[in-house]
């Protein structure tokens, strides 16, 4: 735990990429292979299961400190991070000898975390209390986070790949590819990961995803300025689904989410459809939910993706398809270095039916659930801009622009893939509640619930977390504290004084907010200091957008 | 400013009629003695616990402070008004009220005010800490009936390391920076914390350099007889200072200003009790944070309160609500919140940019440049 704790705090203490990579490299070079494998699993950000409820942890910590529960809660509301709050509250270890003996990360993960799953409460409490005795406060924070499944480290997969590539002395892209799929299960697998030549390959392994950058341009002239002539580009609709890779090698068919999670269990019909692909095929595309030729809202797809097991009922209610837009491997050969125009030709030969045929009712999903992402054609940027303007009524987010000559790169390599999203909808809304944030914004009121006018009252319509500068958040925090009407734990109800320009992607009817409507991807564009709450928008304004939003 | 009913009526509780000290619009007032303690406005007679801007305001007709704090107070309030002083152990009668000053350990000349009349004793702490500080006298436990205590860090998550441990951490950081040819910039409140840090660190590591605002008070400290290591002033109109070996002590207001460019490559650390929390450290963008405070931590507050034997405790600043409730529940004390002119809540971000560990406003704090946000 000591070495991993050291890594955690080194990563936490720096914003420099070079420093972070150095910290990772140092760690992986020094840690025993089994610990390194465990650390990699944690850093990869895969789903972490919690062995213990935070309620229990709070209760036991309160008992160990002798402080009443309300005081522990008061501290948590101030600190904004439970792992840290408890680490600071717990008494110092009374025997330095016990704390000096180290517990390796792999062993700690196994004996103090995984083994607790399914143990009874008395056993859990015994283990937790014993670990508190052994760890220094800095170590406790990290361990608490592992225990409750909430460890987030500020490093991207790219940085991890870079550090390991330097250590193994292989190309970064090569290491990124080796890291795809599930992290090494044990020390031996970690050692293999660092070998100069890969000795075994996992037949299920996907490729690192190529990610598009946002093109924040409205005027056609600006797009032309940034991207050059339209003939060098391929345009497609940007579907509002889940990015995924469909891998068919040998007898295996696997579906991988962008978070590199295996989602076979949630998308059984896609796995079945993948069986019809030739061996040695990898498709990049989008999972979408379509019923009777109608695109279903993202929320339904997302609900389905979180299922461990899909029932017949779900399959009938939220049927899914895979819309392919790139071919990464054919006949077992990696095609990523081929130009897009060539890959597209091969893709069209493999997957013939455009997805738009399904939506138009001229094709059925019963014959196969893999469709081709149709091209959007235009002889000029102006023509494409007209198509883009139709996005909302088509249920898409805008256009994807891909350079015809581009290879399939790794990660967010800027320049060849752009998402040209439709302009968001906007309305001015008033902050009604504020909640203290977490992590970097712990203790600062940075999460807001906003409202609009309806019958002379403000009703809540959205929660927004982002869009303001740190300085603005600090300023708003002060105003929130000064205008608090009621406190409910970390949430404060404030006198309405703050008006925010809120942007969002769409509006739909919902039971979640009192207003009866919900907005998608709400975020704050700017603080309208020039406006009074009375100047904010009305619920009727927002509802009118449902009509125009299709 | 908060709108307190207590301020409007001039008293803070039902019992106030018989209380020796009451909160008025101008601050904590002793009616029998006709004097104020740390008044917020100009008053005829002010007893000052210490010279920080939120406790010592310029413009009163007459001041009383601890002997050791006279020069520092003078440098903050300017010339003119007479400053009376009391030595430790000395007392005086103000209109029949017995007043004495006792070390609070917060900074040079900081004092608790003991007020006795008609068989009742009140002690007002001002700001205080229990940890050792080489630049001022240590906190004295003074028995009393009513204890008016600060509660800036009145939550149990605040528990300081020992001064030796903190000093070792700062030294290690300075040494590592020096070895890498990087200047170490340590941000701290210019009165008290800055001088304490200079006295805490190991001057054999390299030269110590101070910002003008800090230097002015270094001189006041030296003139008051406090021993400090050699400290260099940043020469006016300098273009480049030091060769990456120095420890530079400066107020937080220099953050984001071009003044920091004088030192070339540097590591910027903040010294404040708020640095205890990772979230505060991170969002302020400091390279390093040292949780070193001139206020009592939670165990310190409890130790001080217990030692007075007081049955009634009034908490002020910071987490006064939580502390008062905890005292009522854990000790059965008659504990309540003493309203202050400042917002009743601690905001680490105000502190990290501005003045002290306290919430305070810039008014009357002429030594520091206005607070600026980090870039």
One domain for residues A431 and A307: no
For B349, nearest residue in chain A (alpha carbons): A474
pLDDT digits (tens, 9 = 90+) for A138-153: 889 999 988 887 787 8
| Yes or no, beta carbons of A74 and B322 under 8 Å apart | yes
Whole-number pLDDT of residue A496? 94
B2 pLDDT higher than 70: no
| Yes or no, beta carbons of B157 and A79 under 8 Å apart | yes
DSSP E strands, B154-193: 183-187
Which residues sit opposite A458 in a β-bridge? A453
With bands split at pLDDT 50, 70 and 90, how would you rate the model's confidence at B250?
A: very high
With bands split at pLDDT 50, 70 and 90, how would you rate the model's confidence at A47?
A: low
For B155, nearest residue in chain A (alpha carbons): A75
One domain for residues A408 and A448: no
One domain for residues B154 and B302: yes
Q: Range of A331's domain? A: 213-421
One domain for residues B59 and B126: yes
Q: Any chain A CB within 8 A of the CB of B373?
A: yes
Whole-number pLDDT of residue B240? 80
One domain for residues B10 and B142: yes
CA angle (A335 as vertex; A334, A338 as ends), nearest 5: 145
One domain for residues A142 and A263: no
- The more confidently predicted of residues A145 and B313 is B313
- The more confidently predicted of residues A517 and B49 is B49
Q: Range of B211's domain? A: 163-290
B80 pLDDT higher than 50: yes
- Report whether A428 contacts A501 (CB < 8 A): yes
- The more confidently predicted of residues B86 and A293 is B86
Element of type H or E holding B347: none
Assigned domain for B369 exists? no
One domain for residues A140 and A231: no
Whole-number pLDDT of residue A241? 92
B352 pLDDT higher than 70: no
| Yes or no, beta carbons of A79 and B279 under 8 Å apart | yes
Please, what is the average pLDDT of chain A? 88
Which residues sit opposite A328 in a β-bridge? none
Assigned domain for A178 exists? no
Assigned domain for A406 exists? yes
Assigned domain for A191 exists? no
One domain for residues A294 and A405: yes
- Tell me how many residue pairs between chain A and chain B have CB atoms under 8 A apart: 79
Q: Which of A116-125, A436-445, B89-98, B281-290 has the lowest mean pLDDT?
A: A436-445
Query: How many domains does the structure of chain B reveal?
Result: 2
- Report whether A82 contacts A144 (CB < 8 A): yes
| CA dist., res. A240 & res. A398, Å (int) | 9
Element of type H or E holding B100: strand B97-103
Assigned domain for A205 exists? no
Query: Cα distance from B163 to chain A (closest Cα, Å)?
Result: 17
Please state, in angstroms and as integers, the Cα–Cα distance from residue A142 to each residue in A86, A105, A439, B134, B169, following that order.
Answer: 11, 11, 13, 35, 21
One domain for residues A412 and A429: no
One domain for residues A508 and A539: yes
Q: Which of A86-100, A453-467, B306-320 has the lowest mean pLDDT?
A: A86-100
One domain for residues B141 and B233: no
One domain for residues B133 and B45: yes
Assigned domain for A153 exists? no
One domain for residues B13 and B152: yes
Q: List the alpha helices (DSSP H) in B29-130.
A: 70-77
Quick one: average pLDDT of A225-238? Answer: 94
Closest CA to A541 of A413, A452, A465: A452
One domain for residues A361 and A474: no
One domain for residues A383 and A461: no
- Count other Cβ atoms within 10 Å, centred on residue B298: 24
CATH of the domain at A511: 2.40.50.140
One domain for residues A374 and A474: no
| Residue that is last in its domain, among A374, A395, A421 | A421
| Residue that is last in its domain, among A96, A119, A147 | A147
- The more confidently predicted of residues A211 and A200 is A211
| CA dist., res. B206 & res. B183, Å (int) | 10
Residue A412 backbone phi and psi in degrees, to 5: -95, 75
Query: How many domains does the structure of chain A reveal?
Result: 3
Assigned domain for A155 exists? no
Assigned domain for B68 exists? yes
With bands split at pLDDT 50, 70 and 90, how would you rate the model's confidence at A48?
A: low
| Residue that is last in its domain, among B257, B290, B323 | B290
Q: Which of A389-393, B60-64, B365-369, B370-374 has the highest mean pLDDT?
A: B60-64
Specify the pairing of strand B35-37 against strand B45-47: parallel
Quick one: average pLDDT of B34-55? Answer: 94
| Yes or no, beta carbons of A80 and B279 under 8 Å apart | yes
Cβ-based contacts of A482 with chain B (< 8 Å): 2, 343
Whole-number pLDDT of residue A271? 95
Quick one: average pLDDT of A451-475? Answer: 89
Which ipTM score applies to this complex? 0.87
- Report whether A511 contacts A535 (CB < 8 A): no
CATH of the domain at B78: 3.60.15.10
One domain for residues A412 and A450: no
Please state, in angstroms and as integers, the Cα–Cα distance from residue A307 to each residue in A175, A266, A510, B197, following that order.
Answer: 31, 6, 22, 57
Cβ-based contacts of B347 with chain A (< 8 Å): 477-478, 481
Cβ-based contacts of B277 with chain A (< 8 Å): 79, 84, 442-443
Assigned domain for A435 exists? yes
| Residue that is last in its domain, among A421, A450, A473 | A421
- Report whether A387 contacts A378 (CB < 8 A): yes
Joined together, the tokens standing for residue A494 give 């404030």
CATH of the domain at A372: 3.30.470.30
């Amino acid at each position: 735990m000591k070495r991993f704790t050291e890594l955690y705090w080194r990563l936490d203490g720096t914003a420099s990429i070079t420093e972070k990579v150095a910290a990772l490299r140092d760690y992986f070079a020094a840690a025993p292979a089994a610990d390194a494998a465990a650390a990699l699993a944690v850093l990869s950000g895969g789903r972490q299961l919690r062995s213990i409820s935070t309620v229990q942890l709070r209760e036991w910590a309160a008992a160990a400190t002798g402080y009443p529960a309300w005081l522990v809660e008061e501290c948590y509301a101030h600190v904004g991070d439970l792992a840290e709050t408890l680490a600071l509250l717990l008494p110092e270890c009374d025997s330095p000898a016990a704390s000096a003996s180290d517990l390796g990360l792999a062993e700690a993960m196994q004996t103090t975390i995984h083994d607790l799953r399914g143990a009874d409460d008395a056993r859990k409490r015994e283990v937790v209390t014993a670990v508190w005795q052994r760890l220094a406060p800095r170590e406790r924070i990290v361990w608490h986070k592992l225990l409750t499944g909430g460890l987030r480290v500020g490093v991207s997969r790219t940085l991890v790949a870079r550090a390991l590539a330097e250590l193994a002395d292989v190309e970064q892209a090569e290491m990124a590819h080796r890291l795809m799929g599930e992290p090494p299960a044990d020390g031996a697998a970690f050692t293999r990961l660092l070998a100069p030549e890969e000795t075994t390959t996992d037949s299920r392994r996907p490729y690192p995803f190529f990610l598009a950058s946002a093109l924040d341009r409205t005027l056609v002239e600006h797009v032309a300025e940034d991207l050059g002539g339209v003939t060098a580009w391929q345009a497609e609709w940007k579907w509002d689904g889940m990015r995924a890779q469909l891998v068919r090698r040998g007898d295996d068919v696997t579906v991988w989410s962008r978070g590199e999670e295996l989602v076979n269990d949630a998308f059984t019909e896609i796995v079945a459809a993948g069986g019809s692909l030739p061996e040695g095929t990898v498709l990049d595309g989008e999972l979408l939910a379509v019923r009777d030729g109608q695109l279903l809202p993202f929320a339904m797809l997302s609900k389905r993706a979180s299922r461990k097991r899909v029932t017949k009922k779900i399959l009938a209610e939220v049927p899914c398809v895979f819309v392919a837009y790139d071919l990464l491997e054919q006949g077992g050969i990696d095609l990523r270095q081929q130009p897009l125009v060539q890959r597209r030709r091969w893709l069209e030969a493999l997957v013939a039916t455009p997805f738009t045929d399904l939506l138009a009712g001229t094709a059925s999903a019963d014959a196969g659930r893999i469709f081709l992402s149709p091209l959007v054609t235009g002889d000029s940027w102006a023509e494409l801009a007209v198509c883009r303007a139709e996005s909302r009524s088509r249920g898409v987010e805008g256009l994807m622009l891909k350079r015809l000559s581009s290879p399939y790169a790794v990660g967010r390599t800027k320049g060849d893939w752009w998402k040209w999203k439709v302009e968001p909808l906007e309305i001015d809304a008033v902050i009604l509640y504020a909640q203290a944030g977490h992590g970097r914004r712990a203790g600062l009121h940075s999460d807001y619930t906003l409202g609009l006018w309806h019958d002379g009252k403000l009703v809540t319509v959205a929660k927004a977390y982002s869009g303001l500068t740190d300085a603005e958040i600090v300023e708003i925090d002060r105003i929130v504290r000064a205008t608090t009407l009621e406190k409910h734990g970390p949430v404060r109800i404030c006198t309405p004084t703050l008006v925010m320009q809120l942007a969002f992607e769409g509006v739909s009817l919902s039971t979640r907010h009192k207003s009866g409507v919900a907005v998608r991807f709400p975020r704050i564009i700017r603080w309208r200091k020039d406006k009074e709450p009375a100047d904010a928008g009305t619920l009727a304004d927002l509802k009118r957008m449902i009509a125009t939003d299709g | 400013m908060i709108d307190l009913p207590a301020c409007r009526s001039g008293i803070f509780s039902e019992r106030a009629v018989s209380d020796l000290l009451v909160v008025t619009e101008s601050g904590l007032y002793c009616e029998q003695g006709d004097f104020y303690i740390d008044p917020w406005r100009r008053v005829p007679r002010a007893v000052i616990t210490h010279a920080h801007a939120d406790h010592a305001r310029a413009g009163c007709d007459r001041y009383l402070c601890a002997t050791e704090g006279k020069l520092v107070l003078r440098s903050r309030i300017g010339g003119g008004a007479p400053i009376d002083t009391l030595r430790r152990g000395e007392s005086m009668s103000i209109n029949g009220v017995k007043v004495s000053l006792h070390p609070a350990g917060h900074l040079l000349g900081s004092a608790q005010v003991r007020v006795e009349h008609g068989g009742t004793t009140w002690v007002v702490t001002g700001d205080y800490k229990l940890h050792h500080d080489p630049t001022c006298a240590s906190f004295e436990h003074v028995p009393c009936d009513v204890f008016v205590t600060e509660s800036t860090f009145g939550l149990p998550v605040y528990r300081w390391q020992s001064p030796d441990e903190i000093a070792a951490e700062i030294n290690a950081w300075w040494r590592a920076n020096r070895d890498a040819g990087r200047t170490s910039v340590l941000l701290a409140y210019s009165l008290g914390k800055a001088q304490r840090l200079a006295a805490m660190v190991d001057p054999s590591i390299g030269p110590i350099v101070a910002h003008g605002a800090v230097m002015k008070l270094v001189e006041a400290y030296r003139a008051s007889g406090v021993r400090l290591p050699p400290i260099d002033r940043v020469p006016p109109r300098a273009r480049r200072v030091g060769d990456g070996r120095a420890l530079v002590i400066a107020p937080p207001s220099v953050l984001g200003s071009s003044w920091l460019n004088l030192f070339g490559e540097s590591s910027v650390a903040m010294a404040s009790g708020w640095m205890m929390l990772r979230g505060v450290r991170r969002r302020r963008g400091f390279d390093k944070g040292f949780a070193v405070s001139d206020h009592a931590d939670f165990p310190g507050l409890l130790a001080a309160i217990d030692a007075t034997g007081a049955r009634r405790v009034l908490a002020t600043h910071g987490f006064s609500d939580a502390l008062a409730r905890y005292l009522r529940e854990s000790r059965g004390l008659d504990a309540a919140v003493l309203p202050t002119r400042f917002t009743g809540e601690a905001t680490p971000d105000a502190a990290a940019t501005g003045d002290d560990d306290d919430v305070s406003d810039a008014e009357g704090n002429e030594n520091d440049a206005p607070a600026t946000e980090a870039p």
